[in-house]
A and B are shown apart, each in its own frame.
Chain A
């Protein structure tokens, strides 16, 4: 294996990891933009999506149906979370909703532990078959699914924000919530939908990556954290920023581990976060202002 194909292999690994982080980062950004709440229970959406799909599949449902149902169930969970736990504290100081979501994350992880135990589960690959060979490097078909899904989500968000009335309403809420309310837009409803959407997005990401990463009751924790870093690096409010942040993080991890030392993986990620926060506290794509409610 020559250096060229080694580098290509690191790039593939980085893009796969990065797409997962980017999907989580997108879910962060969507809810943060609309509600101003950092939902730190995001990782648990991945866990529940993956493990519910595993259980539904084991219960005898066909694979595609099991996946769709798992996504719907987690979307419902997201909506429920907004209604029951987040909405009551929306007016409170910004730290309060964050604490609430941390509490939710811990409780959900506990529930997952009770339901599924400490065992590891897996799902079948979406399309069976050998991995692709490109320039001496290998790329699994499942990685292509992850990348493809990221592109579709991006495209969907782009269309939604730029070409639909609801999307424009969301953007209006982001820019000036009071003015938006005066124009008849209901931010609370938007907040509800944003949690439903991030639940669905997280669950889908969780299902997509399970054939690669396997799933345990705590699989979402680290992925949620990395996605959060991706979102922060990207500026927390910017959709393209989240994607760039996530991908950048994945690539850095891959090249850090590959070229420097395998122990350097997480170090690289944390260094980037520190560097970005020191040099450009608003993130690479940040708006350069604090968020006003």
Chain B
């Protein structure tokens, strides 16, 4: 893998060198550390693809204010130590202006000390809020994926609007589910909801009827499940098998075709909040993100012959936020950071970013839409 990354870097160098030879301005060096291989590769691969596509397009258009961009993408193999080493290499050897990455919370956190100490702007593509909080210790760190609390608030608001006050909460016993439980237990009371039952299951569990039987016996008016497939699909099947009639709400974790395939018929009727990429075609034309979303979908399909994912979207946002900052600030790390912090109303793939000194994520609930699965298709509601 390191070999591959080296070849990739060499090719990019060559391309950048050729472009530089054409009499363009001095090139801007930026780095990316992505979980391309290892357990998080399903996140990292679309991210790497997106970054590659974007930098090629950007340089074909003439770069930033006439300066070509040299992007070095390193693979951290989903390993925290390797993420740290990659960040050090980018900062100390390549002298990059900024770092994009990583794909997951663990690998992103591993790089924070290095970028803080060396005062290099970093834009993570991972989920956890603690990557950018507390913001006084994260002066140089930004991120593009939405926080759990946004998702939890979106769900809580949806339930409150429907008048469903008593809620059962099920979560998978891992970092994803734990984060969700924490966020939802804050969001629910804030929207006047009462969590009447909390149940968990293991990621490897094959049968959740026990937990769901308790849900059925409880006074809950709706059920929220915070999980990813395959367990999210098994829960859904069990839910229908037990003929529980209360609405079933899930999270953005089921926002891929896998879930519909695995849960089959049972998936119909499931409602969940998710980024707009999934239903871009169904958005009203007045949506400020619609044009960007459709364009990204089209160019990704054309280049890779595959459907783009929300993870690739996080990479799109990270790259383009940095480009915007570079346009204003030029090749100066501190000024790039300041420019990033002042980006307002930037319509990206994940949402509309309004960065501020207090908020290095900059997304709000507008980033999410509620989607219902009907006849095996996503329907915007």
Task: Collect the chain B residues with CB atoms within 8 Å of residue A172's CB.
Answer: none
Q: Which of A34-42, A65-73, A116-124, A184-192 contacts B (4 or more CB under 8 A)?
A: A116-124
Interface string of B192-226 (1 = CB under 8 A from A): 00000001111011110111011011000000000
Task: Collect the chain B residues with CB atoms within 8 Å of residue A167's CB.
Answer: none
Task: Collect the chain B residues with CB atoms within 8 Å of residue A253's CB.
Answer: 210
A140 x B173 contact (CB < 8 A): no
A122 x B209 contact (CB < 8 A): no
B199 x A262 contact (CB < 8 A): yes
B214 x A258 contact (CB < 8 A): yes
B213 x A9 contact (CB < 8 A): yes
B213 x A6 contact (CB < 8 A): yes
Q: Do A10 and B210 contact each other (CB < 8 Å), given the known contacts A118-B42, A214-B233, A262-B200? A: yes
Out of A9, A17, A263, name the residue touching B242 (CB < 8 Å): A9
Q: Which of B83-91, B131-139, B258-266 contacts A (4 or more CB under 8 A)?
A: B258-266
B230 sits at the interface (CB 8 A): yes
Q: How far is the CB of A223 from chain B (nearest CB, A)?
A: 8
B207 x A6 contact (CB < 8 A): no
- What band does the interface of chain B fall in when counting residues whose beta carbon is under 8 Å from A? 20 to 34
A1 sits at the interface (CB 8 A): yes
Q: How far is the CB of B248 from chain A (nearest CB, A)?
A: 16
Q: How far is the CB of B238 from chain A (nearest CB, A)?
A: 9
A13 sits at the interface (CB 8 A): yes
Whole-angstrom CA separation of A12 from B238 in the bound complex? 12
A122 x B264 contact (CB < 8 A): yes
Whole-angstrom CA separation of A120 from B203 in the bound complex? 13
B330 sits at the interface (CB 8 A): no
Within 8 A of B (CB), among A218-260: 222-223, 253-254, 257-258
Interface string of B28-69 (1 = CB under 8 A from A): 000000000001001000000000000000000000000000
Task: Collect the chain A residues with CB atoms within 8 Å of residue B229's CB.
Answer: 120
Whole-angstrom CA separation of A9 from B216 in the bound complex? 11
Out of A118, A138, A223, A254, name the residue touching B210 (CB < 8 Å): A254
B241 sits at the interface (CB 8 A): yes
Q: Do A262 and B211 contact each other (CB < 8 Å), given the known contacts A17-B206, A216-B230? A: yes
A6 x B217 contact (CB < 8 A): yes
Q: Do A258 and B42 contact each other (CB < 8 Å), given the known contacts A17-B206, A120-B258, A213-B207? A: no
Interface string of B234-265 (1 = CB under 8 A from A): 10010001110000000000000010011010
Interface string of A274-287 (1 = CB under 8 A from B): 00000000000000
Out of A1, A17, A133, A209, name the residue touching B217 (CB < 8 Å): A1
B207 x A13 contact (CB < 8 A): yes
Whole-angstrom CA separation of A83 from B308 in the bound complex? 47
Task: Collect the chain B residues with CB atoms within 8 Å of residue A138's CB.
Answer: 241-243
Out of A9, A122, A140, name the residue touching B262 (CB < 8 Å): A122
B234 x A17 contact (CB < 8 A): no
Within 8 A of B (CB), among A96-151: 118-120, 122, 131, 133, 138, 140
Q: A1-B217, A253-B210, A262-B200 are in contact. List 9 more A-B contacts (CB 8 A).
A: A1-B216, A9-B242, A13-B209, A16-B207, A212-B207, A254-B210, A257-B211, A262-B201, A263-B200
The 7 closest A-B pairs by CB, nearest first: A213-B206, A257-B210, A120-B230, A258-B210, A13-B209, A1-B217, A9-B213
Name A's B-contacting residues (CB within 8 A). 1-2, 6, 9-10, 12-13, 16-17, 118-120, 122, 131, 133, 138, 140, 209, 212-214, 216, 222-223, 253-254, 257-258, 262-263, 265-266
